[in-house]
Structure 1
Amino acid sequence: MKIGVLPDTVINQIAAGEVVERPVNVVKELVENALDADARRVEIAIEGGGIKRIRITDDGCGMARHDLMLCVERHATSKIRSFDDLTQLHSMGFRGEALPSIASVSRMHITSRQPDELTGHCLHIEGGRMTEVREEGANPGTRVEIADLFYNVPARKKFLRTPQTEQNLITSLVQSFALAHPQTAFSYSVDGRAQFQFPPATIDERIRQVFGRENATALREGRSQQDDGTGFHLYLSRPDNTRSRRDSLYFFVNRRHVKDRLLGAWLQRAYRHLIPQGRHPFGALFLNIDPALVDVNVHPTKTEVRFFDIGALGRLFEQAIRQVLIEGETPFHSSPEPPAPAVPRGFPSTGGWSSSAPHRNFGGQISEPAPAILPPSHLPARHGQPASPYGETPLWESAAPSTADFQILGQFQDTFIVGIKDEELILVDQHAAMERINFEEISDLYADNRVEQQPLLFPHPIGLTPQEQLTLNTHMPQLQAMGFTIDIIDDTACLVEAPLDLPPQQAMDTIREICSRAGEEKDDQPESAQESFRQLVMKTMACHRSVKANKTLNHQQMEELLQRLFQCRQPYTCPHGRPTLISYSREQLWKQFLR
């Protein structure tokens, strides 16, 4: 077969494969064009999940007849004129690929009018071929209507999901635009029914509009900025209010919604010791940066970016995230109607039992007596001291907890300490609480180089698989520094010294668990990988040293555990991110009983 030049219609359809994968990509490109036209109001309407019809209407600057006909040509754009313009991009779009690509796989109608013109013009394109251009009455601005998306590319159409799934993707996208452009009004309708309308607002008001008033009260604000204007503005949820999915977490770079792995990794690392695995914060992360320091020309969809100075950005992010997790300030307040439950005094409330929850068997006895099980504390009273470099960043600071006025009622099912404080019912998970205590003890010992070892009477074979043995060999120096001395005797790893207060069997269980889990948290940076391993060792040691569930405690032991817990820097979660305690206000309990 001889080499030939492809016709424009085929070229545009190929380009559409990169730019237009599904209806949400069409909405994205068209709304970006509206915002670049300085629209103060954008209306989005879809039918059939965007497959049947998409209509975007704006009140922007509009286009004259000549520009209207030119806008559907490949690489025709008003955003840039030279390659150097790519380093100073302030517009959402710039490639000049979207409209011709969309037009090649749909039936497109564009109507546009400039404010100083008496009438507008309408352009019809079907499958990439212009069929009609006519003068037409119109409001100032532009209306783009896309019908029968992928009607001429059935192979592409069959890979689309259900209309409901496509609709959900578009809804999330519209919300992201609303967050990034609070000064612009957005309206959104589906199959002729209005879904939401966002009037122009401040960023705080728009956050409240998008996330809802009650969800907004769980958000904490953090800011950091350099002299050149580069800075982060974060609205992120407290670690006690998370989601099972990431779709309520938005990243913006210069108001462009992106899916950036670097920012996601930083955020995950900040929260990883504060929330359980599989849970995610929600909110919005805004980064303002000199366009010359970020490359948005990575992918045709412009959802990926590259940064030129990652180190400086990392330091800025750390400043902002510390404000979110430590200061814990919120710019939002609960709505007056309906009245919100009282804020817990000294304890972060996680809410009451759901009225739709299945019936629970609360059988079991509230018990006392037991032998002593708590190891002697190495921790002096130190609430408020800075975290050690071996520990994690402290969580948000609520009112400092204490055992003052804490009335211990007893123990429920030998697992939970039950008490009352300030008219709130408090449940404390004794294992999670002891894990937190032990973890901070251990991290402080390593930070202060106060690790003590105990020699064992005879070597204890650990019993590792070949893969676990390789992991052990890799991390042997770190384990030695943390109190574990291991010798290889007849090709078998044997424990000969262990950290003080860790019995030999617990020490061997700790090493086995560490070696089996060491590969779970991978990190490309050697320093971060070493710190992750240290954290894993300390968390595992803390777990094995802690009192278990189904262990009876007497009143004195429960009181000592609570005192030590409330001296911790981070008393509200265990090292794995699970809550150590939950509280129920009187209002929440009364509501459950319909009082």
Structure 2
Amino acid sequence: MNREIRLLDDLTINKIAAGEVVESPHSVVKELVENAIDAASSAIILEIQEGGKKYIRITDNGVGIKEEYVEAAFMRHSTSKIAHIEDLSRVESLGFRGEALASIAAVAQVEMITRPEGQQHGVLIHINGGKVETIKKVGCPVGTTIIVKNLFFNTPARLKFLKSNNGETMKITEIITRLSLSNPSISFKYINNNNIMFTTPGNNMLSQAILSVFNKETFKNLILLEDHQEGMTLHGYIGQPSFVRGNRNLQIVFINGRYVKNKVISRAIEVAYKEKIMINKYPICILNLKIHPSVLDVNVHPAKIEVKFEDEEKVYHFILKAILKALEKQSIVPNMLELAPRTNIDKKQPQRQILKVVEEKQEDIVIGKSLASIQDQMSVQETKENYSKNLDFTSLKTPVEIVEEQIQIASVEDHNIVQSSFLNSLLDRYHIVGQIFSTYIILENEGSMYLIDQHAAHERLLYNTFRQEIKAEKVASQRLLAPMVLELSKEDYMFLLNHLYIFEKLGFEIENFGGNDIIIRQVPMILGRPQNFSFIYEILDEVRKYNDVNAMFEDTIAKKACKEAIKANDKMDSIEIRKLIEDLSKLTPPLTCPHGRPIILAMQKYEIEKHFKRIQ
């Protein structure tokens, strides 16, 4: 059958492109707010109605668009961000493809008012489903306002795939939250159905942007992180291991200020927390990685949320080490009542005092709402559409009085003092109260009571010993009574022969047996007597991904440590308890078992007396 080949018209092309760039109201918000950020704005207002389906308005005080370029801005592949293919290797703007405005205008009713500095008048352009209907001169302040109405009005099939109003609002809330956190130097105001959801101060302090977007409890459980390596800088906050979530939604990562999702970074975060939090729980983090644009590719997908690194392994290890370094400086002794880190308020531990001062300063300040409370406050209201109403940018400033230096001290230096003080003094000044349920050891130490899980503590100590053997390449091995012949696929066979040194480091003795077969003569002692060798395939897969089998081997080590450790219901005499505590007092963080359960819980004397009503 002969079929005619024809060129598509521009309107059809734009509608097809809109399917990639504009999938829902939140993608419209993302593209337009990123344009406002690229326009060097210091203040941005986002207003939506009915989940953005009917009305989206974005106003900025950026550089604006010159009159002669207003219509061209809505043409496909028209952009001010790049000029040549070489520019892609050094692009630092959030947008650069020149597709967003054309794609949005093709499937909505769009109005834009814009005026650059030095131009006496502004320009209003109205586009209906990709067709320009009005262009005229108007009076307006410097900057740009874009209004998007009735999204997908001319492609009704797309409307069926949108979420409910609340669902779309949550997606918009998620994206504007991330954009405001990645740009603390810009003041953001977010309005939903006439309700102000949050306002950020725009004073270039990430701590205050976090306080504006989330609640105080979230911020109190964050740890400041800042690290540098040649060509890379990592800055932001990570969550205490005791403050976790049931999903990855609050693992917020930026690269050069661009919100991204990247498997390499996600894995580094989760490996760093692996032994410190319970299974199926996920840490919170708000991190910005600064790296030279030439060593990453942001042009992977039209949404620009995916990136690729030139050297993934280098980035992975840098982020992993930076997070581990920050976590090692934290006191991770959960309170018995609150299951959250607590310290005494005294001169040795000024961190609690500083946070108390910060809290007192915030008592009368409206700092915004958490994402959960935002969802609760959503309501569908009819709102008069009037884009010419007065929007006062000066009202965006919120006087949150927090000193950044104090937060840095509280988050880094004093946590280091707390951890060091606890570990170094526990052995010298503790008193053994006894053992309860043949499972927990009770200690008294300087006005605090500590409850130690004997199995979790011993499990951690054994686990660390096994890991040190691997790190020192002194893994105890055992010869098999009957060497094991294993047939591999051709691909696995060739790959294993090229990486035999890794298996030797882990305590294996493996030889080529001809064909696609290998012969295993020796295995690490920690594996016991293997019944089968399926784990070889797991090691091969891990090496392929990261060239690092330690993460995979941790599960095996954890199971071995758990099997050999002192069990619950095992009675211990005073000598055994003292030896366990002596070893435990030298332990570096994390103070958890390899599965993330806490080793020690604390309860202070004043808390006990408060519960017995001795003090008020």
TM-score range, shorter chain: 0.7 to 0.9
**How do residues 119-268 of structure 1 correspond to structure 2 at under 5 angstroms?**
119-201=121-203, 202-225=205-228, 230-268=232-270
Deviations 1:140-191 (A, max 9, x none): 2111111222222222221222222222222121121112211111111111
The equivalent residue for 1:323 is: 325
Distance in 2 between residues matched to 1:497 and 1:291, nearest whole Å: 45
Alpha-carbon offset, residue 34 of structure 1: 0.6
The verdict on how the C-alpha distance between 1:116 and 1:282 changes in structure 2, with shifts beyond 3 A counting, is same
- The counterpart of 2:421, out of the listed 355, 378, 399, is 399
Distance in 2 between residues matched to 1:258 and 1:497, nearest whole Å: 41
Distance in 1 between residues matched to 2:444 and 2:360, nearest whole Å: 23
Alpha-carbon offset, residue 11 of structure 1: 1.0
Distance in 1 between residues matched to 2:18 and 2:131, nearest whole Å: 15
Segment drifting more, 22-31 vs 138-147: 138-147
Number of residue pairs matched by the alignment: 519
Q: Is the 8 A contact 1:437 1:565 kept in 2?
A: yes
Alpha-carbon offset, residue 28 of structure 1: 0.6
Q: Is the 8 A contact 2:328 2:589 kept in 1?
A: no
Deviations 1:104-150 (A, max 9, x none): 11221112122333432222222222222233332221111112222
Segment drifting more, 313-322 vs 419-428: 313-322
The equivalent residue for 1:77 is: 79
Matched AA of 1:216: F
Q: Secondary structure at the match of 1:317?
A: helix
The equivalent residue for 1:433 is: 457
The verdict on how the C-alpha distance between 1:479 and 1:427 changes in structure 2, with shifts beyond 3 A counting, is farther
Alpha-carbon offset, residue 589 of structure 1: 5.8
Alpha-carbon offset, residue 338 of structure 1: 5.3
Distance in 2 between residues matched to 1:96 and 1:26, nearest whole Å: 14
TM-score, normalisation: structure 2 = 0.73
Across the aligned residues of Structure 1 and Structure 2, the Cα RMSD in angstroms comes to 4.1
The equivalent residue for 2:23 is: 21
The equivalent residue for 2:598 is: 579
Distance in 2 between residues matched to 1:195 and 1:416, nearest whole Å: 47
The verdict on how the C-alpha distance between 1:411 and 1:234 changes in structure 2, with shifts beyond 3 A counting, is same
The equivalent residue for 2:42 is: 40
The equivalent residue for 1:539 is: 558
Q: Secondary structure at the match of 1:169?
A: helix
Alpha-carbon offset, residue 562 of structure 1: 2.5
The equivalent residue for 1:423 is: 447
Q: Do structure 1's residue 336 and structure 2's residue 357 form an aligned pair?
A: yes
Distance in 2 between residues matched to 1:106 and 1:161, nearest whole Å: 18
Alpha-carbon offset, residue 398 of structure 1: 4.9
TM-score, normalisation: structure 1 = 0.76
Segment drifting more, 52-61 vs 516-525: 516-525
Q: Is the 8 A contact 1:429 1:580 kept in 2?
A: yes
Alpha-carbon offset, residue 42 of structure 1: 0.2
The equivalent residue for 2:411 is: none
Q: Is the 8 A contact 1:63 1:112 kept in 2?
A: yes
Distance in 2 between residues matched to 1:17 and 1:549, nearest whole Å: 58
The verdict on how the C-alpha distance between 1:155 and 1:587 changes in structure 2, with shifts beyond 3 A counting, is farther
Q: Is the 8 A contact 2:235 2:287 kept in 1?
A: yes
Deviations 1:400-436 (A, max 9, x none): 4224433444444443333433333433222211110
Distance in 1 between residues matched to 2:357 and 2:131, nearest whole Å: 56
Q: Is the 8 A contact 1:42 1:59 kept in 2?
A: yes
The equivalent residue for 1:561 is: 580
Distance in 1 between residues matched to 2:351 and 2:62, nearest whole Å: 32
Alpha-carbon offset, residue 586 of structure 1: 5.0
- Percent of pairs identical after alignment? 31
The verdict on how the C-alpha distance between 1:430 and 1:331 changes in structure 2, with shifts beyond 3 A counting, is closer
Distance in 1 between residues matched to 2:314 and 2:524, nearest whole Å: 41
The verdict on how the C-alpha distance between 1:480 and 1:179 changes in structure 2, with shifts beyond 3 A counting, is closer
Higher helix share: 2
Segment drifting more, 327-336 vs 52-61: 327-336
Deviations 1:489-518 (A, max 9, x none): xxxx9999995xx9xxx945xx46995798
Distance in 2 between residues matched to 1:126 and 1:17, nearest whole Å: 17
Matched AA of 1:406: Y
Q: Is the 8 A contact 1:223 1:323 kept in 2?
A: no
Q: Is the 8 A contact 2:449 2:603 kept in 1?
A: yes
Q: Is the 8 A contact 1:119 1:136 kept in 2?
A: yes
The equivalent residue for 2:92 is: 90
Q: Do structure 1's residue 3 and structure 2's residue 2 form an aligned pair?
A: no
Alpha-carbon offset, residue 27 of structure 1: 0.6
Q: Is the 8 A contact 1:214 1:335 kept in 2?
A: no
Distance in 1 between residues matched to 2:178 and 2:428, nearest whole Å: 45
Q: Is the 8 A contact 1:104 1:127 kept in 2?
A: yes
Alpha-carbon offset, residue 536 of structure 1: 3.1
Segment drifting more, 79-88 vs 328-337: 328-337
The verdict on how the C-alpha distance between 1:61 and 1:14 changes in structure 2, with shifts beyond 3 A counting, is same
Distance in 2 between residues matched to 1:76 and 1:219, nearest whole Å: 42
Q: Is the 8 A contact 2:182 2:254 kept in 1?
A: yes
**How do residues 473-488 of structure 1 correspond to structure 2 at under 5 angstroms?**
none
The verdict on how the C-alpha distance between 1:423 and 1:259 changes in structure 2, with shifts beyond 3 A counting, is same
- The counterpart of 2:309, out of the listed 295, 307, 310, is 307
Alpha-carbon offset, residue 527 of structure 1: 7.2
Q: Secondary structure at the match of 1:66?
A: helix
Distance in 2 between residues matched to 1:549 and 1:273, nearest whole Å: 20
**How do residues 449-528 of structure 1 correspond to structure 2 at under 5 angstroms?**
499=525, 507=528, 511=530, 519=538, 522-525=541-544, 528=547
Q: Secondary structure at the match of 1:71?
A: helix
The verdict on how the C-alpha distance between 1:412 and 1:519 changes in structure 2, with shifts beyond 3 A counting, is farther
Distance in 2 between residues matched to 1:311 and 1:454, nearest whole Å: 32
Q: Is the 8 A contact 1:113 1:139 kept in 2?
A: yes
Q: Do structure 1's residue 442 and structure 2's residue 470 form an aligned pair?
A: no
The equivalent residue for 1:355 is: none
Q: Secondary structure at the match of 1:336?
A: helix
Alpha-carbon offset, residue 80 of structure 1: 1.6
Deviations 1:30-87 (A, max 9, x none): 0011111111100011122222221111011122333222211111211122222222
Deviations 1:323-366 (A, max 9, x none): 313345999952537579xxxxxxxxxxxxxxxxxxxxxxxxxx
Q: Is the 8 A contact 1:105 1:127 kept in 2?
A: yes
Q: Is the 8 A contact 2:271 2:551 kept in 1?
A: no
Q: Is the 8 A contact 2:268 2:317 kept in 1?
A: no
Distance in 1 between residues matched to 2:115 and 2:509, nearest whole Å: 78
Distance in 1 between residues matched to 2:191 and 2:571, nearest whole Å: 58
The verdict on how the C-alpha distance between 1:49 and 1:556 changes in structure 2, with shifts beyond 3 A counting, is farther
Matched AA of 2:40: D
Deviations 1:474-499 (A, max 9, x none): 9999999878999xxxxxx9999995
The verdict on how the C-alpha distance between 1:452 and 1:129 changes in structure 2, with shifts beyond 3 A counting, is closer
The verdict on how the C-alpha distance between 1:479 and 1:522 changes in structure 2, with shifts beyond 3 A counting, is closer
